[in-house]
Chains A and B, each alone.
Chain A
């Protein structure tokens, strides 16, 4: 990736982070930590990698994306809004009565959302179904998903992994947002699914481990995934709460909204970083 392209993405992802904070602050609830950790992955997918058209969100042969860790909805919504699927101003209506922006992704009402998710472990099965549908009906689109490192404690994830591996669904790429924190503590403290790569490999997946907050590494991994004849799991090591100083690696920001004071602090940090880009 050349320097100009990277700078552009670094600029976009700061705006995405601001949208996350705007939404969660306005909702007085939501999940900022795990939204901020996967912001680079979502930004790269929607701004560079996927074959999509914000003007035609239901384009038949579009690449599909399933946010299996549906509680990172603020990140998905912010990326979709910044990409032009809907007005950025809507982000402040997150979780409000009457808003299309439900607490978790709702494919029936939100332009650009390909699957309703939120109950952990279910999205990846739907992504597998989409990949199967593409292969079966001879369509060449690809399917992407993001799972949480806590989410993969759900048994259904491994049912889905087994099926995708056995069927050789090479058009499927799943990111594991490995930020090492879940609601009750670190994943080791709770019930670790590690080693994550070895588990997916045992289920006949190709695996790649990267820094999931680094655009170059995301790009390289996605290119590698397209070249293999298996489904690919990209284990993306990330920082929970990335980009907001007091939220980074802090488990208490999994599912809490900043008060007005902390909101101002987060926004000024992000605005300063944005100013530094220009």
Chain B
């Protein structure tokens, strides 16, 4: 078996900014002293006069982004998820969300796969925080290809967009022919016994879980839910109706993320068992990313176990 190519989704973010920058000069990119890590540094290198470093001041960066957008210009601002969604939450809510401004927030280093930096930097709450802001679009790409396409799609949206990227190099799932549409979940595997709805780096794990389950005679449907808000209601309700059991999988708290969004929808529209795989209301800690993913149970085998439980719970 050939070596699987692995690239971090944040690289797709950087690639897309450079690609867009070559085509249009009507936008500004901001960072808060993390350009080398977030990959806005790629844009900075290519277009130094269209990049502004706000320094270690994320709250002010969000306000500056809002001001630029209020003058009718497009703007991308970037930091780690912890600081973009966490520290600057209220600036995002009041200065960007409330006036529904066209700001793209590129939040990298999300989740526990940040690794060695430990709990202070392992943001597993950002999706929950951003979901509570009316009008906020939230996109969590699964691989570098999807990340790059998602950034370009976000440029065409009206209103704020929170984009979640990872630090860790993850397998490339999609090729250039992959079609990305904001707000439309993608069925990657057909199946009738249970549906795994995954986002971000858990999509690849879900595809492996599909194989594990298949070996045990369970037919799992796999959906890539790259857009968490607005949630693709139709694909979720259809999956609940047709397979009768759901597993959600995300590198995020089980409180308020994809699992929360799916549960909220299905409890009202089509109540079926929804088992949530994610980080269980705990802080992370330091360690190599791959080992943390094992330890926190964010692997294919864990998804498969949940899926079997979900099938057993079906009426």
| A-to-B contact residues, CB < 8 Å | 60, 64, 66, 106-108, 114-116, 118-119, 121-134, 136-137, 155-156, 159-160, 162-163, 167
Contact = CB atoms under 8 A, between A and B. Distances in A.
Given A122-B63, A159-B54, 12 more contacts: A64-B70, A107-B70, A122-B66, A122-B91, A122-B94, A130-B67, A131-B67, A133-B71, A156-B63, A160-B60, A162-B55, A163-B64
A64 B68 CA distance: 12
A163 B57 contact: yes
Nearest to A116: B99
B265 to A, nearest CB: 28
A134 B94 CA distance: 23
Interface string B53-75: 01101011011111111111101
Nearest to A124: B63
Nearest to A131: B67
A8 to B, nearest CB: 31
Given A156-B60, A159-B57, A64 B71 contact: yes
A126 B95 contact: yes
B67 A125 contact: yes
23 contacts: A64-B70, A106-B98, A107-B70, A116-B94, A119-B90, A121-B59, A122-B59, A122-B91, A124-B63, A126-B95, A129-B67, A130-B70, A132-B28, A133-B67, A133-B71, A137-B71, A159-B54, A159-B55, A159-B57, A159-B59, A159-B60, A160-B60, A160-B63
A31 to B, nearest CB: 17
B235 to A, nearest CB: 31
B100 interface: yes
A125 B54 CA distance: 11
B52 interface: yes
B28 A115 contact: no
Contacts of A124: 63
B71 A122 contact: no
A155 B91 CA distance: 13
Contacts of B75: 129
Interface residues of B, number: 28
B70 A125 contact: no
Contact of B94 (A119, A127, A129, A163): A119
B148 to A, nearest CB: 25
Given A122-B94, A125-B66, A163 B71 contact: no
A160 B54 CA distance: 9
A163 B54 contact: yes
Contacts of A64: 70-71
A114 B52 contact: no
B24 to A, nearest CB: 13
A163 to B, nearest CB: 6
A126 B99 CA distance: 12
B64 A125 contact: yes
B90 A128 contact: no
A123, A129, A137, most chain B CB atoms within 10 A: A129
A125 B95 contact: yes
B66 A115 contact: yes
Nearest to A114: B70
Contacts of A118: 94
Given A156-B59, A156-B60, A129 B65 contact: yes
Contacts of B73: 133, 137
A128 B63 contact: yes
Given A125-B66, A159-B59, A134 B95 contact: no
A130 B60 contact: no
Given A119-B94, A159-B60, A129 B70 contact: yes
A54 B62 CA distance: 29
Contacts of A136: 28, 50
A60 B62 CA distance: 23
A230 B59 CA distance: 23
Contacts of B91: 122, 125, 156
Contacts of B57: 156, 159, 162-163
Contact of B71 (A130, A155, A159): A130
Interface string B87-105: 0001100110011100000
B58 to A, nearest CB: 9
Contacts of B52: 132, 167
A156 B99 CA distance: 19
B68 A125 contact: no
B59 A129 contact: no
B60 A128 contact: yes
A114, A122, A167, most chain B CB atoms within 10 A: A122
Interface in B36-53: 50, 52
A125 B67 CA distance: 7
Given A116-B94, A119-B94, A136-B28, A130 B59 contact: no
B94 A107 contact: no
A133 B27 CA distance: 10
Nearest to A141: B71
B103 to A, nearest CB: 10
